Amino acid sequence: MNYQIIKLLQAYNAYSESLLRELTRRIVFRKFDPGEVVLREGDVCRYIYFIVKGGLRAYMLRGIKEYTTWCMLENDLATAADSFFLQIPAREYIEASEYTEVICLSYEDYSLLCDAFPVFQKMVLKLLGQYYAKFYQRAVDLVALTKEERYRHLIEKEPELARRLQLTHIKSYLNMSQASLSRIRDRDKDRG
């Protein structure tokens, strides 16, 4: 487990023995089975997760329809951002999309580490910038791209996600019906 933490800290030039020691004291390692709910809508998100193995998916329920808002795999950070950073009730669910192992850091410990280690805060800001850019691009793509373009983008830019997500989650992630996804996949097979 320390290996992943050291690798992450080194990738952002944030490694120090004292930070590693404090971080190691404060993190919790958790495992989730496929479909296990990590966070429920209405609960306050108390943790930010670093995915060691597997994947997490966030979704909103409106009536009986699910809207997948994001999917993250190994080496990604995941949280209900507004709930975690503002400590307000979550507007989404988070669940394990497959067997998943995560490193959890509580809001309180995250805040303490940011105050005590400016290099940690700088690393987090870089990670949040990447997180924001990814979600901004996704929001733009949902508006600007056709259904077929969104599917091709997923296949080309996020092939691992496309391979590992259930089809029902792919259709929700791409904001399309099962029929549209099936037509697009069939056309792709015919071209290949």
Comparing C-alpha atoms, which of 184, 178, 179, 182 is closest to residue 149? 184
Specify which residues 94 forms β-bridges with.
39, 58
* pLDDT of amino acid 16: 82
At position 134, the amino acid (one-letter code) is K
The string of pLDDT tens digits covering residues 108-131 is 999 999 999 998 888 888 888 888
Q: Confirm if 55 and 97 have CB atoms less than 8 A apart.
A: yes
* pLDDT of amino acid 48: 94
* pLDDT of amino acid 2: 64
Domains of the chain: 2-116 (2.60.120.10)
* pLDDT of amino acid 12: 64
- Can you list the residues of the chain whose pLDDT is less than 70? 1-2, 12, 192
Cα–Cα distance measured from residue 38 to residue 47, given in angstroms and rounded to the nearest whole number? 10
* pLDDT of amino acid 7: 75
Numbers of helices and strands, H then E, in the chain? 9, 8
* pLDDT of amino acid 84: 97
* pLDDT of amino acid 192: 60
The string of pLDDT tens digits covering residues 67-76 is 999 999 998 8
